[in-house]
Amino acid sequence: MFIKNTGDFNLEQTFECGQCFRWNRRDDGSYIGVAGGHVITAAHTEGGIQIDGGGDAFLRAYFDLERDYGKVKRAICGDGVMKNAVFSGGGIRLLRQQPWETLISFIISANNNIPRIKKIIAEMCAGFGGELTRGGFYAFPAPEVLAGLTARDLAFVKCGFRDKYILDAARKVASGEVDLSAVYGMSAEDGRRELKKINGVGDKVADCVLLFAYQKYDVFPKDVWIKKTLHRLYLVGEKDIDGFVREKFGRYGGFAQQYLFYYGRSCANDEFALKRTT
């Protein structure tokens, strides 16, 4: 598939913004990753982006290609802060990821860093997921597979204290105690409650799953970094974030979160760039 580059899709920004963990940059600047059981390559070329693997229908859904991101940006760019944030990360697209993989990925992300998250996931897939190609790419292990394991079985992936949460999630999903399919039809509040039945899943992990897997775009995941960024740029205290986000961004809160998160991280050490310009 060839996508004419409109300025609303940048591979580095999309894959390096913290929403996904199975994409890797190659020496030539292209990316290779696994999504939905497909091995996919993506590269910027003259005039656009070339993506191979998965089939057009899957790629259109996964990369959210039917959405007018220009409209989204216009809706949230009501001040100088958001204009700067969108300018910084305007090529981010919110991927439509699979709920089970997203759930386990963000359980692993708790108190962790991206390189280590990616390594743990890669080891888990290689150990329990089944090989997709001879090139060493593996499917994400099904909940039924992980549900039959013990903490000792998971020891080699070195996920630490998260092992018990991964196993709890697998057993509750495999048994039907947690119904991931049902969350699609739930409100964000009800979906959050369903996901939090799993030990180790709090508001932040649940909100990441709701945004990145279920397209609950009014959800605004809050970690330490985004809280600091909002305080620095908007002088918003932690207890006031939810009301501020609802009023300012409404149904586009998730998009605003990604632009602000990327902006805050990319300009963290640049006092001039990361400034309050409301």
Q: 34, 31, 24: which is closest to 138 by C-alpha?
A: 34
Lookup: tokens for 113: 């860093």
Q: Which of the following is catalytic: 204, 222, 227, 275?
A: 204
Instruction: Return the residue matching tokens 């908007």.
Output: 234
Taking Cα atoms as reference points, which of 215, 239, 219 lies closest to residue 227?
A: 239
Dist. CA 252–CA 215, nearest whole Å: 11
Residue with tokens 């204290």: 161
**φ, ψ dihedrals at 47, nearest 5°:** 85, 0
Is 83 labeled as catalytic in the residue annotation? no
Render the burial of 72-102: b for 16+ CB within 10 Å, e for the rest. Answer: bbeebbeeebbebbbebbbbbbbbbbbbbbb
Contact (Cβ atoms closer than 8 angstroms) between residue 227 and residue 241: yes
Backbone angles phi, psi at 69, to 5 degrees: -70, -20
Catalytic residues: 204
